[in-house]
Structure 1
Amino acid sequence: MTSPADREDSVDPTKLYDPNDPRYYGYSRYQFRLWHGMTIWAFLKLLKGNWRHISPQRYGVVVSVFLLTAPTHSILALLVKLFYRKRIKETRFNGDPVCILGFMRSGTTFLNELLACDDRFASPDNMQCIMPESFLIAEKRLRNHPLAKMEKRPMDDMDMSMDAPQEDEIAMLTMGQPSPYAQMAFPSAKGRYSDGLIMQRDPKVRARWIKAWVWFLRKVQYRNPDKQLLLKSPTHTVRVSLIREVFPQSKFIHITRNPYRILQSNLKLGKALSVTQGFEAKGMTDEQLIHDLKDGFPAFHEAFEKQKAELPEGALVTVSYEDLVKDPLGVMRKIYTTLDLPDIEHALPAMQAYIDSRKNYKPNKYKEDPEIVKMINENWDIYFDKYGYEKLPVEGEEPPVNEAIVTADGEAPGTPEDDTNSDIRQVPNASNG
């Protein structure tokens, strides 16, 4: 006999549910959220000042964290400190990390998963980032738990697994550290989390963040003693100087993408994450996201360009998503050569196998909105100027004059459209995105 759940799964959820219902994105009401990997003290930090914003529809999530998962993770976190503290403290990094940079939905996830095919690298995975304080003990029992599995991400058609690479920014969020990603929990808290991006205003907050970040990375390194860390997070794009303070020899890979696709993909991402992970009745609106990106996107890249100028030769390589999907192995060779990474031949078979596994991937399709095109053309000049993308004409207006050499129509069928740092990777059921 077919269960209601089976009948539900056989029908397109977008035809059954409201866009502010997690089920609209194929996300069950009973699936674990990001917050289910937090300790009590980290969860209280997240909720501080936001209690009044919690919707009655999300009370069940809050109660389940407080009563079911947070106590367990809190006890396990204390046990990790008791049994592993000395070993973690003595762990030495196997060289400074390689960091993937780029705005959310620029292709950072695709790039990260390709590079992670090289078994000489180690990236934090979903399990480690969702349960950053307890994973050293919890991972054996929970990594393959049924509630910790999700076939696809809610914002696109990318596969998920607890072993897949994830943004270390997610770990910072679930440890209760300042992070702009906290806005997915409370979309109406406009501007409240912006300081979590750069953290320049309060030296004490900045120092605590760095300490927590390094401690988490040591645990990942402890689990992968002979590998070099490979980190990916869009937020690190504006933290290049901070990263170099901690890891002076770190190297960076910056990926760019057609800006019109970046915005369109961010609209879907912001809505999906704020609905599936949020505590409010409604997720982010397109209007809110467009308003934030109008000035936030150019400011983000102005900050990056300023910090990029301080990097020595050979510490940074820039690639485009369009080139990556057309010739992934060619772009990989460019990255390895420019950054003087170990011989790529060792990793090519695994990279090719990953590429072959994505041949049936279907990227999201978008239609150009004249108002959005106009907003981008008028406000995102820094991106067009620096990375050579061509402005699209606005319907009814003369085509813009632009000497760009890369066309704006940069889709390639059968390849991941992501990224995404989040670019946030949506978490499986146990928990990003």
Structure 2
Amino acid sequence: MGGPAKRASGWAPIPDHPLYGCDAITLLTVLARNGGPRGRGWPTALAALGSALGRAPFSLAEAGWVAARRRKTAGLPPPVFILGHWRSGTTHLYNVLSRDPQFGIIDPFAVGLPWDMLGLGSVLRPLLARALPERRYIDNVPVKADSPQEDEIALANMSPISFYHGLYFPERFDENLRRGLYFDGCTAAEREAWKRRFLYFLEKVSIAQGGRCILLKNPVYSARVAMMREIWPDARFIHIHRDPRAVFVSTVGFYRTLLARLALQPHGHIDVERVVLDHYPRIMQALLDDTADLPANRFAEVPFERFERAPLEEVERLYQTLELPGYAAARPKFEAYLGAVSNYAKNRHRLSDEGRERVDREWAPFVARWGAGVA
């Protein structure tokens, strides 16, 4: 989700901060763990707490309804996961594939109100639709009522374990990133609690989407393929990769934009370039390790550069590789969407000579594998 990268003036709460969809227990846990907001972050935190308390009866009622319904229905069908590091083209691929009506998606209302998407969220949907920002925080991608979203903001509103809490509370940025990306330092009980919230969220998404196979896009899952395979042994995975040099410079911009927009504590101490340089290899190596033994019909890769040049051909290849039905029926919808975004202007980021040297040196195996001219 998103909007222009701006903050409220003075001591007003930050408009449409993601934490406004949090529950009170998660919010208070996160505040206690991270030392609370600083200065002008307090109005936003208090507004988030007020929102949580006001929604609590509706959230509890929805949880009870979902639990009663659960006893009468089968489990979730295995999702199709779109993997890849941030700024690798995951959003573009997600937007294209989501035009296939066989897939259920995560919509903006599920992200903004994960505890209340089926009840209160449905009632408020017309009002919320008018309040949606025109574009995402981090790029020029439009946000509409049916725009597919990644689920990480929603999960940060349901669990203290999310890298987004590092963006909201950057005084403990590194700890939140490591917990939120790899579960570093988390107990077995914390991991299980996260998994329960994750499955509860997807259960509600499945209800909202009519029980269709859910198409999931979240770069965090690139480091969690092993866990996803434990939950769904038959899940399918698509990995879109991009020249690591382009990924680096764009991800640096991603972090800087979100910190400026969402942080409730000072963040000037964070060396964003170092953060990106350190985490990319660990995430991508985990992805390679955890997908190495997957059969061809469960794992497919696509270079972003090739997908950008020939999207329909690449989508058809993905359907054939993964043995997904319905390509011919969905193709007109793919074509219509691609035609509608044909004039989309990507953000332009320039990589300095020093930055290129650092990437080529520290990410050498990945540059050799996915760098420009390799695919």
The verdict on a shared fold, with TM-score over 0.5 as the criterion, is yes
Match of 1:320 in 2: 303
Checking the alignment, whether the CA contact within 8 Å between 2:8 and 2:14 is kept in structure 1 is no
Query: Greater relative contact order (Cα 8 A, min sep 6): structure 1 or 2?
Result: 1
- The 5 Å alignment of 1:166-177 reads 166-177=149-160
- Asked if residue 270 in structure 1 is aligned to residue 255 in structure 2, the reply is yes
Cα distance in 2 between the residues matched to 1:294 and 1:222: 39
- The 5 Å alignment of 1:259-298 reads 259-282=244-267, 288-298=271-281
Match of 1:368 in 2: 351
Name the stretch that deviates more: 350-359 or 378-387. Answer: 378-387
Match of 1:140 in 2: 122
- Asked if residue 156 in structure 1 is aligned to residue 125 in structure 2, the reply is no
Give the C-alpha shift of residue 125 in structure 1.
Answer: 1.4
Partner of residue 108 from structure 1, selected from 58, 78, 90: 90
- Asked if residue 197 in structure 1 is aligned to residue 197 in structure 2, the reply is no
Match of 1:44 in 2: 28
- The 5 Å alignment of 1:197-276 reads 197-199=181-183, 202-276=187-261
Checking the alignment, whether the CA contact within 8 Å between 1:122 and 1:224 is kept in structure 2 is yes
Partner of residue 105 from structure 2, selected from 123, 128, 134: 123
Kindly, what percent of the aligned residue pairs are identical? 26
Whichever residue aligns with residue 33 of structure 1, its letter is: H
Cα distance in 2 between the residues matched to 1:142 and 1:64: 18
Cα distance in 1 between the residues matched to 2:367 and 2:267: 34
Give the C-alpha shift of residue 119 in structure 1.
Answer: 0.6
- Asked if residue 98 in structure 1 is aligned to residue 67 in structure 2, the reply is no
Give the C-alpha shift of residue 114 in structure 1.
Answer: 0.6
Match of 1:306 in 2: 289
| Structure 1: runs of 5 or more not aligned | 1-12, 14-18, 391-403, 407-433
Cα 1:313–1:360 change in 2 (3 A) is closer
- The 5 Å alignment of 1:50-89 reads 50-52=34-36, 54-67=37-50, 69-89=51-71
Give the C-alpha shift of residue 89 in structure 1.
Answer: 4.7
Which has the larger share of helix? 2
Checking the alignment, whether the CA contact within 8 Å between 1:94 and 1:225 is kept in structure 2 is no
Provide the alpha-carbon RMSD of the alignment: 2.2
Checking the alignment, whether the CA contact within 8 Å between 1:101 and 1:255 is kept in structure 2 is yes
Give the C-alpha shift of residue 190 in structure 1.
Answer: 3.2
Cα distance in 2 between the residues matched to 1:150 and 1:346: 32
| Structure 2: runs of 5 or more not aligned | none
Cα 1:279–1:157 change in 2 (3 A) is same
Cα distance in 2 between the residues matched to 1:385 and 1:365: 23
Checking the alignment, whether the CA contact within 8 Å between 2:159 and 2:197 is kept in structure 1 is no
| Equivalenced residues, count | 367
Whichever residue aligns with residue 95 of structure 1, its letter is: P
Cα distance in 1 between the residues matched to 2:290 and 2:112: 29
SS class of match (2:143): coil
Q: Give the alignment's TM-score, normalised by structure 2.
A: 0.91
Give the C-alpha shift of residue 116 in structure 1.
Answer: 0.6
Q: Which has the larger radius of gyration?
A: 1
Cα distance in 1 between the residues matched to 2:339 and 2:124: 29
Match of 2:15 in 1: 31
Whichever residue aligns with residue 276 of structure 1, its letter is: R
